[in-house]
Chain A
Amino acid sequence: MSADINRPLSSRIKADGSVTNLAEYEADNGYQGLKKALGMGPSGVMDLVKDANLKGRGGAGFSAGLKWSFMPSPEANPGPRYLICNADEMEPGTFKDRWLMEGDPHQLVEGLAIAAFAAQAQTAYIFLRADYDLCAERLEVAIKEACEAGLLGEDIQGSGYSLDMYLHTSAGRYICGEETALINSLEGKRAVPRAKPPFPQVSGLFGRPTAVNNVETLCNLPHILQHGVEWFAGLGIGEDNGTKLYGVSGRVKNPACWELPIGTTVREIIEEHAGGMQDGVKLRGFLPGGGSTDFLTTEHLDLAMDFGTIAKAGSRMGTGTMILLDDQTCPVGMVLNLIEFFAQESCGFCTPCRNGLPFIRQILRDMEAGRGKIEDLDRLKELCGYIWIGNTHCALAPGAAEPLQSALKYFREDFEAHIEGQCCPFGDSPAEAGHSHTHAQETA
């Protein structure tokens, strides 16, 4: 096995689904990045990652190096500090972090150790979603192997730096992915988001300085340390640096996840890598980066999938995993499915989200069942405003509004057809059927 320097994050992931173990990882330059980091000192690592302009891959695209730099220095605020890996991955349509953790768990362990060192944290947690049993198993082994090899624990490689790393497995709630809710969850509480400020970097886990980074973000670090800023910048095509894990799901020939230069066009991802649409179906639109991003349409196929370009087009790159809407799938039904999810997963902390989402859900359920009214369209738009940024305590509700508001813009004729025809033009109303059972609910 030899590292593919153009696909640094995924080159060690084996096609047969088996795991890359410590010996294989080390034989392929594994833990060289950490060793180099230990020799550079925390501020050296922080500056390097800042210069590399590594943008967070969890969805918001915030500079990783800059994030750590907002933590007060240990001199200014002595005591414990924490680095948390966000491995909750519950955004509908997102399946990239699982791939990294199942295939190459040591890469994450090394990346997390480098981040913890830069942030001068003595404890690191991997917050893993509930259903990722295989990831949990493999990460436990990787952490244990790394400890036994002296790559974690006391005085790593004689550097004087000590780090404890723990795996924490969640019990299933989408809101746990929001970083302040994640921190509450890690403290063993209900996962409700905290008000910001104070930001976690200042007062996070157990009230101490804390940084939260996504799995894919962290997996970039060993490579940036080893190969440097220029190499990293050279990997990207457009304005962003590095590679990106892109995924496609929906009715394509080859749904999957690939590591490609960041800035690859939507068209190349869908047509070349995903093999194009299945025979007999046409593409109508897509959510570029998970269920909480605005729809884009076939007009946008030639856009580069990077943070800035997709934002300019009115959406977000989000997690980079696209969900495709085809001409045989009902856009109203698709939005309803997403709203069902967000309404269920709302933490209930603030009223616009707690009440607004079920309200929207009811309107859409009625519309799918042939009881839509033309006023509903204005009402839906108005409700999107009520749950928008500034009115809610966290970004879950605005995220829920994104596919709806953009569907109202791009697929208005589909909403109107539901109302005019008093039925779903795509046939049976599946969403409604899915809930008809709940009235006859038997307890388990």
Chain B
Amino acid sequence: MADLIATNAMPGNSNWREAIEPLTEQERTEIEHLASHYPRPQAATIEALKVVQANDGWVSDGKLKAIADQLDMSPDEVDSVATFYNKIYRKPVGKRVVTICDSVSCWIMGYDELRQKLCDHLGIPLGGTTTDGEITLLPTPCLGACDRAPTAMIGEKLEGPITADELIAQVEKARGGQS
């Protein structure tokens, strides 16, 4: 879906001219720990990308190369995995990612109004980031909380059932709060 392209597409150049951006000591240790769960360290690729993303908010070319180094893979291999998954961001996102469920039960229960009002309020389309760099808005498939439709997530916090006005209020609260 085009809305996801904004955050999942590779950064401008993909010929790996960027220098390696070293992982932090903590990132290295965490990835090493995760890799120990599998007979082959490459199995930890997705989790390694998530470790970096948890710190940086997204995965830069430089960090991706560092992961490739640590797991003994080529950067292209790691990127082929990174670009496959919806929740790995290959471009910078806002301080908080807000996702709105666009799947069937939420659609029946009022997704369109949520999306429209929130987009209007923030002045961005789905896939966009507010100019202050605080909020990125993305659609998400069914959040597995259809009994609470319509649903949204602000960071890791699930909300639902929620009205457009309540969602706007929650997003504004998150915007004001510390990350």
Contacts and interface: CB of A to CB of B under 8 A. Distances in A.
Nearest to A167: B37
A444 B144 contact: no
Given A434-B102, A444-B91, A250 B108 contact: yes
Contact of B104 (A186, A191, A338): A338
Given A80-B39, A94-B144, A190-B81, A442 B88 contact: no
Contacts of A94: 142, 144, 146
A185 B144 contact: no
A169 B121 CA distance: 33
A331 B9 CA distance: 33
A430 B110 CA distance: 10
A341 B103 contact: yes
B3 A337 contact: no
Interface stretch (A85-93, A235-243, A363-371, A410-418): A85-93
Contact of A90 (B50, B144, B145, B156): B144
A166 interface: yes
B149 to A, nearest CB: 6
Contacts of B46: 170-171, 185, 188
A442 B91 CA distance: 12
Contact of B43 (A188, A333, A443): A188
B104 A435 contact: no
Contacts of A132: 144
A229 B175 CA distance: 55
A433 interface: yes
Contacts of A329: 108
B114 to A, nearest CB: 11
Contacts of A291: 103-104, 142
A133 B156 contact: yes
Given A190-B84, A191-B84, A341-B103, A98 B49 contact: no
Interface stretch (B13-21, B22-30, B125-133, B166-174): B125-133
Interface stretch (A36-44, A251-259, A374-382): A251-259
Given A93-B104, A434-B102, A441-B2, A98 B144 contact: yes
B81 A323 contact: no
B98 interface: no
B102 A437 contact: no
Interface in A223-276: 247-251, 255-257
A334 interface: yes
5 contacts: A95-B147, A247-B147, A257-B147, A291-B103, A434-B115
Q: Which 9 A-B pairs have the closest CB atoms?
A: A171-B85, A438-B2, A188-B45, A249-B146, A437-B125, A172-B86, A172-B87, A249-B105, A92-B103
Given A334-B104, A340-B1, A433-B116, 9 more contacts: A131-B144, A131-B158, A170-B85, A172-B85, A255-B147, A325-B108, A430-B107, A443-B9, A444-B92
Interface of A: 80, 89-95, 97-98, 125, 129-134, 166, 168-174, 185-191, 206, 247-251, 255-257, 287, 291, 321, 323-326, 329, 333-334, 337-338, 340-341, 344-345, 428, 430, 433-435, 437-438, 440-444
